[in-house]
Amino acid sequence: MSTMNTVGRPTAPNEGLDANYKPATLTGGRGLLQDEPLIFEGEGWGKTGVDLPKPANDGSDLGDLVRKDPIGLPGLSEPEAMRHYVRLSQKNHAIDLAVYPLGSCTMKHNPRLNEKMARLPGFSDIHPLQPQSTVQGALELMDQLAHWLTTLTGMPAVALSPKAGAHGELCGLMAIRAAHQAKGEHEQRRKVLVPTSAHGTNPATAAFVGYSVVEVAQTDDGRVDVADLAAKLGPDVAAIMVTNPNTCGLFERDILEISRLTHEAGAYFYCDGANFNAIVGRVRPGDLGVDAMHINLHKTFSTPHGGGGPGAGPVVLSEALAPFAPAPWVVNTGDGYKLVEREEDEAEQAFGRLCAFQGQMGMYVRALSYMMSHGSDGLRQVAEDAVLNANYIKARLEDLMSPAFPEGPCMHEALFDDEWLKGTDITTLDFAKAMIDEGFHPMTMYFPLVVHGAMLIEPTETESKAELDRFIEAMRLLAGAAKAGDVDRFKGAPFHAPLRRLDETRAARAPRLRWSAPEGSNRAG
């Protein structure tokens, strides 16, 4: 006879034992996953994974500057290094494991074809200081990527080198500042207008470039309040920064009016293009009057991100801003490709450069691979499926949860508030933690700030209906439990993750950088 465990699966015969007995493990390990020190804390690891021949010449050109002590790198064999990183990866969520519905982040599948292309030796084994004649293929790829980006956005120029969306914002605002300087208007134009729902990087970038940030109100239906914008525009405004579709997952219906008013006031329109995956192939930002917009290659064009990098945030620029684009860029001379790098070349108006070399080459290869394998029709379908999937989620959950903007369809994200949790004593945070126990990464919480207890769900276009249905089922079951008053399930969650609730503020302010034996284990450490 077999007994049933709590989820009703048959387990091995254990007649006479308490089926619910679940001791803490002695080592802190759990279910084939060991708990271990960090890689640089290992003891007696004075080895390397490879045998290197002793250099023929022991002398050094560094004289007195030569290092006297070991550098302190962990010495590991290949299997030790492999296992350490595979174990770490198993403690974490990944897009290759399941849905990753983190709103605003566009966590979609990274096609393996991209990876194969990025590993071609002609792209992966080159050095940025190689003579340009030896990297013509790589330069041609950058030129083609620039062609796709300008074509898809309907903009005349692009600066490829920014290394993230936020870096792209910096690039765009520096181009805007250079344009105002060239017109002699910089001194009088010291303000940047930013809607209240903006991603935090927008006001941060404006402040970093030296502007003062003025907030623009939002209407009850989640869009920019055009009357408030018009009232705040004037000869002291350098630019507006507007996200479209915005961070509430809604298209800015008045976008043409917004750009008209902005240009009339002599300001530039910076568009945060992080949500370009919702409109790619359908709408060209150039047709909306945008002057500068970053494109997160790692979001819209599927290059891997999360865990800190690498990203790529090329910025498309209008005719008015193009002359100020940062070096370098690629030109086709008819006799090969050339990087324009210096002010004495054609870059005399460039505001400078944003990074030492050309940007994230590996991301360029992946993004172009994604574009070419989809084609223009496929990219249009990306936008259509991203929007369809988000609306499917909204439609299937709106009877139980409360959509922040119930009127009409959404774009690529379904946004709920916490109105539906009222009276349950369960918060957005509690709900998110319980999702982890059910096998799902939480949605984005408490952003955008304009929505109380926000839950921002972005399924992306790469989830199948079957995956979405599994996610929706879990959400419905959890919402049912919340409404039925099953508070403990939420307050204590996550129960099944490698770690429970972390004090995230303390972790950021006073990080503990050394391993200690897991609580409740019998280990020394």
Contact residues toward ligand PLP (CB under 6 A) are: 104, 164-166, 199, 201, 243, 247, 272, 274, 296, 311, 313
* Sequence-distant (≥ 6) Cβ neighbours of residue 159 within 8 angstroms: 171, 175, 314, 315, 317, 325, 326, 329, 354
Distance in Å, CB of 267 to ligand PLP, minimum: 20
Instruction: Estimate the crossing angle of helix 361-397 against helix 136-153, to 10 degrees.
Output: 30
Point out which residues pair with 268 in neighbouring strands.
Answer: 239
Q: Which tokens belong to 350?
A: 């460039």
In the bound state with ligand PLP, the residue whose beta carbon lies nearer, of 161 and 424, is: 161
Spatial separation of the C-alpha atoms in residues 271 and 259, rounded to whole Å: 10
Residue among 246 and 424 whose Cβ is closer to ligand PLP:
246
Burial bucket for residue 214 (CB in 10 Å: 0-12, 13-18, 19+): middle
Residues 6+ apart with CB under 8 A from 99: 440, 441, 459, 463, 467, 468, 470, 471
The least distance separating ligand PLP from the CB of residue 317, rounded to whole angstroms, comes to 18
Tell me the closest approach of the beta carbon of residue 104 to ligand PLP, in angstroms.
Answer: 4
Per-residue tokens: 159: 């600066």
Which segments of 66-195 are extended strands (E)?
157-159, 191-195
- Shortest Å distance, C-beta 199 to ligand PLP: 3
CA dist 122 and 336 (Å) reads: 17
Distance CA(337)–CA(332), nearest Å, equals 5
Q: How far is the CB of 106 from ligand PLP (least distance, A)?
A: 7
- If the CB atoms of residues 150 and 296 are measured against ligand PLP, the closer one turns out to be 296
Cβ closest to ligand PLP, residue 160 vs residue 347: 160
Residues whose CB falls within 8 Å of the CB of residue 147, separated by 6 or more in sequence, listed in order: none
Cβ proximity to ligand PLP: between 104 and 424 the closer is: 104
Q: Nearer Cβ to ligand PLP, position 170 or 175?
A: 170
Measured CA to CA, the distance from residue 40 to residue 450 in angstroms comes to: 43
Contact (CB, 8 A) for 455 and 419: no
Three-state DSSP state, 465: helix
**295: Cα within 13 Å, side-chain hemisphere:** 32
Closest CA to 397 of 468, 448, 485: 468
Task: Please give the single-letter amino acid code of residue 83.
Answer: R
**Residues contacting residue 75 through CB under 8 Å, at least 6 positions apart:** 45, 46, 47, 48
Residue 51 backbone class (left: φ over 0; alpha: ψ -120 to 50; beta: rest): beta
CB 323 to ligand PLP: min, Å: 25
Residue 422 CB, shortest distance to ligand PLP, in Å, is: 28
Secondary structure (DSSP) of 405-434: S-SS--SS-EEEESGGGTTTT--HHHHHHH
Q: What's the closest the beta carbon of residue 163 comes to ligand PLP, in angstroms?
A: 8
When the beta carbons of 238 and 242 are compared against ligand PLP, the nearer one is: 242
- Smallest gap from Cβ 216 to ligand PLP, in A, equals 16
Q: Which residue, 114 or 247, is less far from ligand PLP as judged by CB?
A: 247
Q: Which is nearer to ligand PLP, 313 or 453 (CB)?
A: 313
Residue (104 or 358) nearer to ligand PLP, CB: 104
CB of 52 to ligand PLP, least distance (A): 38
d(CA 29, CA 38): 15
Residue nearest to ligand PLP (CB): 165
Task: Write down the least CB distance from residue 441 to ligand PLP, Å.
Answer: 16
Report d(CA 367, CA 118) in Å as an integer: 10
Q: Which is nearer to ligand PLP, 195 or 281 (CB)?
A: 195
Helix count and strand count (H, E) for the chain: 14, 13
Nearer to ligand PLP, 189 or 294 (CB): 294
> Based on CB atoms, which residue is closest to ligand PLP, 241 or 347?
241
Joined tokens for residue 494: 């996550």
To ligand PLP, the closest distance from the beta carbon of 135 in angstroms equals 26
Min dist CB 304 to ligand PLP, Å, is 12
Residue 73: Cβ within 10 Å count: 10
